[in-house]
Amino acid sequence: MKKIIASMLGVFIAVPLLLAVWGFALPAQYSSTFLGELPAKRALLAAENNKPRLILVGGSAAAFGVDSTLLAKELPDYHPVNFGLYAALGTRVMLDLSINELRAGDIVIVMPEQQQQALSDTVGVTALWQAVDGDFSALGCLHARDFGPMLGSFPRFAAAKFRYFLTGAPETDGVYRRDSFNAAGDLASPLCKANIMPEGYDPTMPIRFDTALPEAAFCAALNDYTARAADAGATVYYHFPPMNALAVANEDQLNAYAAHLQQVITAPLAGDPRACVMESGWFYDTNFHLNAAGRTVFTKQLIRDIKAMLGDTTATEIALPAMPEPAANTVAGSGSSTDAAYFTMAEDGSVTVNAAGRARRSLTVPAEINGRAVTRLCTETFRGCTALEEVTIQSAVTALPDGLFADCPALHTIILTQPDPARLQVGQDLLAGAPAACRIQLPDGSYTAYCLQYSWSAYADRFCT
């Protein structure tokens, strides 16, 4: 018995020690990824400079939306630093990581995405571990309440890091990689040429102006940040991000929402939020990510707003580009239509499971129904399919909305056949209403791509192959 107890104690000691070695002692494995840009952004904030800084704080809307070269040209008294990266990290996290680096004379523009995740106290622990890999000093900037969730997710991070150490560090194609960023922290990839979203917008990411946002915890954090910035001699302003007009659900409520915002946060609101609602042709792959031309358009407006705050009446001489033509969208792949009889297609092309399908334990979204390709699923597609245990989503489907599997208590496996996660848009709450044990089965060879993709990375702990 003593030997058994000793062995168990040895395991309890050895496993945490082994995980600590994997997590902290191994070389950084995420340095070339999109999130691997965080250490460089922190270095930009810490660098000495003989000018006050113009600091953009937020998620990827800031990273994709600002041209710092234009900012420096039109506002020569300031040095621009783009400290926007990824909304899933949490806006409050970006505030915590930047507050101690603020200096007298700095202007901070806080520009979170207009969505619940960015306007809450959310901390994306999986993404944050990847972002601080190789720069663990960033953990010292976090709030004490973050350490519990971070500790809980550490074993998965350490195990994944060890696996990459053995098989090779993760590499991504396309825009979402560290070398897409320039020296000022802007995402300036030449690939961001035109709108590539199948419908011109991402239907899984609606934009609403609801007074339930921002959350009270977010307001408290931002107000504390604003006060601490003032103590350091810096000034904080709130600015709306660029927003795809096609995704805006209630633009008529924008003015009322802006008025409410000024009642709950102490940072002044910069500019006219209506100017931030932009035509879809200026966007790239999400409702907040601008293409290269859109970045110029939005930056010009941002410069005008900053000049107005500063009382600068000089003209902003920036030539506006033509709006790019949307990229050609083709249905990716083909597949089976064996289960077409269990689905009904609406006039707009969206499909729902019919009465016969609701008794099925396994369903495959058909490639076509009555000769029409199935590319759209709506939030009601599988709602209430209480017998459903397994569903296959074929590669022609372009988006999976939030709540797609609500009231599906038996669901244990979602099988995806699309190998490229960039071609399958996903909401932040896809699995709301699905069992906690539900897993997402990925195509062979796609695991790393899905884990590192901007939208899909939030589901990394649900993936299997």
**Residues 412-445 pLDDT 10s:** 999 999 999 988 999 888 998 889 999 999 999 8
Domain total of the chain: 2
Cis bond before residue 214 (omega within 30° of 0): yes
My answer on whether 75 and 196 are in the same domain is: yes
In this model, does residue 332 exceed pLDDT 80? no
Contact indicator for 318, 74 with CB cutoff of 8 Å:
yes
Specify whether 202 is located in the same domain as 251: yes
Instruction: Please indicate, yes or no, if residue 412 is contained in any of the structural domains.
Output: yes
334 domain residue, yes or no = no
Could you tell me what percent of the chain has a pLDDT over 70?
95
The CATH number of whichever domain residue 450 belongs to comes to 3.40.50.12480
Instruction: Please indicate, yes or no, if residue 91 is contained in any of the structural domains.
Output: yes
CATH number for position 302: 3.40.50
Q: Are residues 268 and 207 in the same domain?
A: yes
Instruction: Report pLDDT digits (tens) over 129-181.
Output: 999 998 999 999 999 999 999 999 999 999 999 999 999 998 877 899 999 99
Report the DSSP beta bridge partners of residue 390. 362, 413
Question: 436: domain range?
Answer: 340-464
- Residue ending a domain, choose from 272, 295, 310: 310
Question: What are the start-end ranges of the E strands in 89-173?
Answer: 107-111
| Residues comprising the chain, all counted | 465
Nearest 5°: CA angle at 245, between 109 and 347?
A: 150
- 331 in any annotated domain: no
> Does 291 share its domain with 404?
no
Do the domain assignments include residue 35?
A: yes
At 204 the pLDDT is 87
Q: Does one domain contain both 278 and 346?
A: no
Query: For residue 367, is it within any domain?
Result: yes
Q: Does the pLDDT at position 203 exceed 80?
A: yes
pLDDT in tens, 87-115: 999 999 999 999 999 999 999 999 999 99
Residues 43 and 126 in one domain: yes
Query: Is residue 303 located within the same domain as residue 354?
Result: no
> 295 and 404: one domain?
no
User: Looking at the structure, do residues 40 and 167 belong to the same domain, yes or no?
Assistant: yes
Confirm whether 75 is domain-assigned.
yes
Please, which residues have CB within 8 angstroms of residue 271's CB and are 6 or more apart in sequence?
239, 240, 301, 302, 304, 305, 308
283 within some domain: yes
Query: Does the structure show a pLDDT above 90 at 333?
Result: no
pLDDT tens for each residue of 60-89: 999 999 999 999 999 999 999 999 999 999
Same domain? For 411 and 271 the reply is no
Instruction: Verify that 61 and 183 share a domain, yes or no.
Output: yes
Residues 363 and 405 in one domain: yes
pLDDT tens by residue, 277-310: 999 999 999 999 999 999 999 999 999 999 999 9
